Chain A
Amino acid sequence: MDFDLTEDQKEIKRVARELLAARSPFAAVRAAAEAATYDAALWAELRELGWAGIAVGEEYGGQGLGAVALAVLLEEHGYACASTPLVSSAVVAAVIDAEGTAEQRAQWLPGLVSGELSAALGTRGIAADAPGADVALIVDGSDAWLIGAAEAEPFVAIDLTRRFGAVHGEGEPLGPLAAARVRGAVSAELVGVAQRALDMTVEYVKERKQFGVPVGSFQAVSHRCAQMLLGTESARSMAYHAAWAADASTETLDEAAALAAAAACDAGVEVSASAIQAHGGIGFTWEADVHWLYKRAQADAALIGGGKLQRSGLAELVRRRAARSAVP
């Protein structure tokens, strides 16, 4: 039993944290969002570093580092709330590698890894990076479809840091664990979003004074922060567990991903909402950057089916548990 990142994975996390802190501070995130474009220079750099192919086999030009390394990168991408199509590209590539046919892998992976091809990820109703995507991975409950040259209907969603659209068209099915892999991976980005919301809040309530003292010395505020910590760490346990299962325990991946998605959707949304509250009036302004995290959390949750689907997933697990225990 070793529930910890390896030294290599920690190094990937540290490098990603530092790189994104330097290249993608909130000023850059806001500039990209307000211009309704991606941060092209950042995305070029991330592609150059091989992030899109982190969990894709080396025969397709990827790094073959597995789902835990992917989770760690996505966590840091969420932490920075970076304005890039990394989640779509890296997750679609990883899932095609694990759950696609040989033809699908050969068709899509080299281009997705190099960045010559672009991918969309989400549900039919809301897929990130759908407009103009070469290939879309659409999840619908436990099913997942790969749609080439999908017809997308663009719309502007509250998360202005990314491009969204509704997706039409017929697709090819992917392997049985494709939807679980998507849910698990997106959960990791939500963990990062929650962690950033918590860190920003802690920093703020230490500085902000009312009644002559830092507001973080009031239990009404500090206990809110403790609750945010509980949500974040709970989601992290489950997201890492799902990532580990994606690599090493596929027989439990379906349940692990359902649990991770439920924990991470809750944590992402609740912790970032709590951050807005703890920031007080300033938290409701455009200038305070916590709203980008709240919007990212809402959109990420929607990409994997939203809160209702996650709760139905938990209900299904309970029914399975009852069926198991009914077997003599």
Chain B
Amino acid sequence: MDLTFNEAELAFRDELRAWFAANEPGPEPEAEDAHYAWRRDFQRRLADGGWAAVQWPREYGGRGATLTQSAIFFEELGRSGAPLPANVLGILLAGPTIMTWGTPEQKDRYLAPILTGEEIWCQGFSEPDAGSDLASLKTRAVQDGDEWVITGQKVWTSGAQYSKWCMLVARTDSDAPKHKGLTFFLMDMEQPGVQVVPLRQITGEPEFNELFIDGARVPAENVLGGVGNGWKVALTTLMNERAGLGFFLQVRLRQLLDTLIDAAAQRGLLEDQVVAEKLGELHLRTEILRLTAYRGLTAVEKYGVPGPEGSLVKWLWSESNQQLTQLATDLLGSETLHTDSPWAYELLRARGNTIEGGTTEILKNILAERVLGLPKAR
């Protein structure tokens, strides 16, 4: 057991810190499009420095970083106050999925523009009637000569308005059992059959979109991993969903807790034992998150098999963020409810944390069935 970074990891971290110190992202713009342009610009700088996708193999423009180094990258990104790369879904999801399942031609064509942010990717998985039960999705793809014609609706597609490409899962065989009739497509978003409609969430902002697809056309060469193999390919994408990103989110949670502790201290609230103990509970949770995530990294690095840590960490992180933002509202008073207070945004946004990327209920099912071996839930 050694819970310190080794020399290579420390050297990696120091090089990264130096780079972040020399490459401040500049002030965060408020307006949505300007904000996105800011993120895209910062990704380009990351790519120029060779930092856009450290975990990618060198042959594809990454650094071949270990999982621990990748975790360090996301921790340092969080610490630096820099934004997530604009093409985060391309880097974390589309890239690794194409590396696993793509033909040499597909890898040549798609990977490089993901790194630079030149081509943004979005994820067309969820549908209005297919959320936790993803395999029941209804968007259909019908073959027409050398092309597939796609019709259906997707939802929760973040970044769709900026995207060139969509990781789209559609049903190509409606007679097959639900997991078997799916195919994974790389769909060009810039065509008349694809309509992007902003989806306003409870914060008031449209972070996500609905995607209306009516006769969109995808050439046969844009099938990824073979016709009828879409569920397996999609699982590769989903397996990558929380890799790395979790460390970024944890750092942001720790920073938010620091902000709350400082605000409480300025108001003299830490002398109140009940308040200090509630903050203490959150401090404990952030440390449990950090250390349990590292245990998970070790499990994958040493044995190649992820343990239950990923699901545990996502569950605990999401509930802790909700607990923290509620505590801020309780402690700091009614100004936290003014719409221009950052706490108001954090409070509302946190409600999505226990839903997005696997609801807490589904995570509990996964833990009960796959880790504890309990019978399938009803």
Given contacts A3-B298, A238-B291, contact A314 B277 (CB under 8 A): yes
Nearest opposing residue in chain B for A228, CB measure: B372
Contacts of B298 in A (CB 8 A): 1-4
Contacts of A2 in B (CB 8 A): 1-3, 298, 302
Bound-state Cα–Cα, A218 to B369, Å: 11
The answer, yes or no, to whether B270 is at the interface (CB within 8 Å) is yes
Bound-state Cα–Cα, A219 to B273, Å: 37
Interface size on B, residues (CB 8 A): 52
Q: Is the interface of A mostly helix, strand, loop or mixed?
A: helix
Given contacts A3-B1, A68-B1, contact A322 B265 (CB under 8 A): yes
Contacts of B372 in A (CB 8 A): 198, 202, 222, 225-226, 229
Contacts of A230 in B (CB 8 A): 312, 315-316, 367
Q: Is the CB of B378 within 8 A of A217?
A: yes
Q: Is the CB of A229 within 8 A of B367?
A: yes
The answer, yes or no, to whether B129 is at the interface (CB within 8 Å) is no
The answer, yes or no, to whether B32 is at the interface (CB within 8 Å) is no
Bound-state Cα–Cα, A202 to B308, Å: 16
The answer, yes or no, to whether B294 is at the interface (CB within 8 Å) is yes
Contacts of B368 in A (CB 8 A): 216, 219, 222-223, 225-226
Bound-state Cα–Cα, A245 to B3, Å: 9
Contacts of B279 in A (CB 8 A): 315, 318
Interface size on A, residues (CB 8 A): 51
The answer, yes or no, to whether B355 is at the interface (CB within 8 Å) is no
- Which B residues from 255 to 311 make CB contacts under 8 A with A? 258, 261-262, 264-265, 270, 273, 276-277, 279-281, 283-284, 287-288, 291-292, 294-295, 297-299, 302, 308-309
Contacts of A219 in B (CB 8 A): 361, 364-365, 368, 377-378
Bound-state Cα–Cα, A205 to B368, Å: 11
Q: Is the CB of A311 within 8 A of B378?
A: no
Contacts of A315 in B (CB 8 A): 270, 273, 276-277, 279-280
Q: Is the CB of B2 within 8 A of A1?
A: yes
Nearest opposing residue in chain A for B280, CB measure: A314
The answer, yes or no, to whether A95 is at the interface (CB within 8 Å) is no
Q: Most B CB atoms within 10 A — which of A202, A223, A259?
A: A223
- Which B residues from 320 to 378 make CB contacts under 8 A with A? 361, 363-365, 367-369, 371-378
Q: Of B291, B299, B361, B375, which one neighbours A241 at CB under 8 angstroms? A: B291
Given contacts A1-B68, A1-B297, contact A318 B288 (CB under 8 A): no
Bound-state Cα–Cα, A226 to B297, Å: 21
Given contacts A222-B368, A259-B287, A318-B276, contact A202 B261 (CB under 8 A): no
Q: List 27 A-B contacts (CB under 8 A).
A: A5-B1, A68-B1, A202-B372, A206-B374, A206-B375, A216-B375, A222-B369, A223-B361, A223-B365, A226-B365, A227-B364, A230-B312, A234-B316, A238-B288, A241-B291, A248-B3, A249-B3, A259-B288, A263-B284, A311-B281, A312-B273, A314-B277, A314-B280, A315-B273, A317-B280, A321-B283, A325-B261
Other A-B pairs beyond A2-B3, A198-B372, A238-B291, 10, CB < 8 Å: A4-B302, A6-B1, A217-B378, A219-B361, A225-B368, A226-B364, A230-B312, A234-B312, A316-B280, A318-B261
Residue numbers of A with Cβ under 8 A of B are 1-6, 9, 68, 198, 202, 205-206, 213-214, 216-219, 222-223, 225-227, 229-230, 233-234, 237-238, 240-241, 244-245, 248-249, 259, 262-263, 311-319, 321-322, 325-326
